[in-house]
Amino acid sequence: MKTWREFARELADEVGNDNWRTELEAVPRHVFVPAFHVQRPDGTWDETTSHDEGWMDAVYRDRPLITELATTPEGHRVTVSSSTKPGLMVRMLDALDLADGQRVLEIGTGTGYNAALLAHRLGSEQVFSVDIGATLIDAARERLAGLGLTPALAAAHGAEGWARHAPFDRIIATCSVPEVPWAWAEQVRENGLVLVDLKPSVHAGNLVLLTRHADRLEGRFLHRWAGFMAIRDTDGPPGNVTTIDPVEGVRSVTRLEPLPWASLVPWFLTQATMPGEVAFGHRGNAAMFSTADGSWAAVSQEPDAEGEREVRQGGPVRIWDEFEAAQRTWDELGRPDWDRLGLTVTPDGRHRVWLDEPGGGIGWTLS
């Protein structure tokens, strides 16, 4: 029988990141993922536990695993926690450019696996981690302690950081945020780093690595796109996003994909013109977008013989027209990828996205 150490070595081989090989080989991921859930095509969920065949194999693959579901008041089971894909996690840890003696705050403890990697590298007393899920924190604390690791953990809303233990040298968030909380800037040392997945709407954003300057957080998006589950405001299933039933609306046609994240950068830049988070759902054959101010767009999933899809829109902001405009601007700019985009966040909450250089003249204001 293969031992967990052999499994862990294979995981480290699969990830192929030599900077974090020692930690990947030393931290038993199976301890942090005693069970995981996989969604069946019909939408129901299958649970695999330590008693099931294939559990160890799955846990030591370079894959994300859904570890916690919650039930909405409408009876839908939704994901509330997961163990991030190890390869992505170490890519983020690499980006943090850690040095001995540094203090790190993690937002989104989840299973505790990432906190374990950090505690193994830096020492438990340097690592702080919060999660909104109280039972997640209890379970993570027990698993970590079982391995002799004792980072400070708390059940708390991560948007507030953890002022009592500030200042930190690094803050890493493993849930996405619609905007970067200024509290994090206040709790990170000057020249310290904040790494977070900024996503004002579904799939609209990416990981960004920000440096703390005296008057701002500023930095670039990571080249490769990644998506984390969105930050929750309560220890329960994520709140219901209001969606709108399409009425007649204004009709047009589009040649673009009905899912704007087929074109991730323009979809992100579109957020500068949105009146808040864009909710997404399906209505019959249409992809449906809506915002809290009553704006909506319904885009047919099926193109006609000419490759055109029907669009209907209503409300104060024409969501699809704005996306098409952002797509045109992006085309004209030579289709810059994430690595040419950066972000400046100021204490007034302003989020300015820029092309190439902060003062370069081309930018978008998110909020």
Ligand X SMILES: C[S@@+](CC[C@H](N)C(=O)[O-])C[C@H]1O[C@@H](n2cnc3c(N)ncnc32)[C@H](O)[C@@H]1O
Task: Name which of 110 and 260 has its Cβ closer to ligand X.
Answer: 110
Task: Name which of 117 and 355 has its Cβ closer to ligand X.
Answer: 117
Taking CB under 6 A as the rule, does residue 295 contact ligand X?
Answer: no
Q: Which of 50, 81, 295, 300 is catalytic?
A: 81
Task: Name which of 115 and 311 has its Cβ closer to ligand X.
Answer: 115
Taking CB under 6 A as the rule, does residue 130 contact ligand X?
Answer: yes
Task: Name which of 183 and 272 has its Cβ closer to ligand X.
Answer: 183
Element (H, E) at 212: strand 204-213
Active site residue 81: yes
CB of 44 to ligand X, least distance (A): 22
Taking CB under 6 A as the rule, does residue 151 contact ligand X?
Answer: no
205: left (phi over 0), alpha (psi -120 to 50) or beta: left
Site residues for ligand X, 190-249, by CB under 6 A, read 228-229, 231-232
Taking CB under 6 A as the rule, does residue 111 contact ligand X?
Answer: yes
Token couple for 181: 């909380």
Taking CB under 6 A as the rule, does residue 355 contact ligand X?
Answer: no
Cα–Cα distance, 4 to 56 (Å, whole number): 8
CB of 201 to ligand X, least distance (A): 17
Token couple for 231: 């930050």
Size of the site for ligand X (CB under 6 A): 25
Give the residue, chosen from 174, 254, 300, 313, that forms a contact with ligand X under the rule CB under 6 A: 174
For residue 50, CA distances in Å to 31, 44, 55, 158, 177 come to: 10, 20, 6, 30, 33
Give the residue, chosen from 28, 86, 108, 342, that forms a contact with ligand X under the rule CB under 6 A: 108
CA 212 to chain centre: 21
AA letter at 258: P
Cα–Cα distance, 94 to 103 (Å, whole number): 15
Q: Which residues pair with 313 in a beta bridge?
A: 250, 297
CB 198 within 8 A of CB 343: yes
Give the residue, chosen from 30, 85, 91, 157, that forms a contact with ligand X under the rule CB under 6 A: 157
> What would the x/- binding string for ligand X be over residues 66 to 95, using CB under 6 A?
--------------xxxxx-----------
AA letter at 57: D
DSSP 8-state secondary structure symbol assigned to residue 40:
-
CA 260, 265, 270, 276 dihedral sign is positive
CB 46 within 8 A of CB 37: yes
Site residues (vs ligand X, CB under 6 A): 80-84, 107-108, 110-111, 113-114, 130-133, 136, 157-159, 174-175, 228-229, 231-232
The residues annotated as belonging to the active site are 81
